[in-house]
Amino acid sequence: MANVRVERTDDGGFRATNARGAEVRMGGGDEDGVFTPVELLLAAVGGCNIVTVEPLTAKRGHRLVRLAMTVGAEKVESNKLGPVTITYDVELPSEEADEVFRAVAGRVHEKYCTVSRSLEDGTEVRLELP
């Protein structure tokens, strides 16, 4: 099971922490040095894809020279995102690597990225109050 703790900090900001000691600061879109919750959602989509694509491509003998992506979405309502778009930025070492990268990235997107698949399937979010 995946868990994070989200809490208000003493300085009035917010942070998410996990059991391994990682921390991410978050806040509103007008604050410097923090992610908004929507940006964290987009980072989760990108992170899930890229941390799965990279080792699978390398395992097939094609370490990519550059592997990055931009993940974006527009709000279609004040509280709802439209489609999320992942745009890869890669530098490939060879034509063969291009074929492998495209096949791996496609499979990861369609089958293996838990975050993307959960968003696409409309995973239920439950609220438990004390």
Domain ranges of the chain: 1-35, 36-121
The separation between the first and the last C-alpha atoms of the chain, rounded to the nearest angstrom, is 21
Chain segment 83-108, per-residue pLDDT in tens:
999 999 999 999 999 999 999 999 99
CATH number of 36-121: 3.30.300.20
pLDDT of residue 1: 77
Beta carbons of 65 and 92 less than 8 angstroms apart: yes
Region of 86 on the Ramachandran plot (φ > 0 left; ψ -120 to 50 alpha; else beta): beta
Residue with tokens 């929507």: 38
**Dihedral in degrees, nearest 10, Cα atoms 77, 79, 82, 88:** 140
Beta carbons of 97 and 62 less than 8 angstroms apart: yes
Chain segment 1-57, per-residue pLDDT in tens:
789 999 999 999 999 999 999 999 999 888 899 999 999 999 999 999 999 999 999
pTM of the entire structure?
0.91
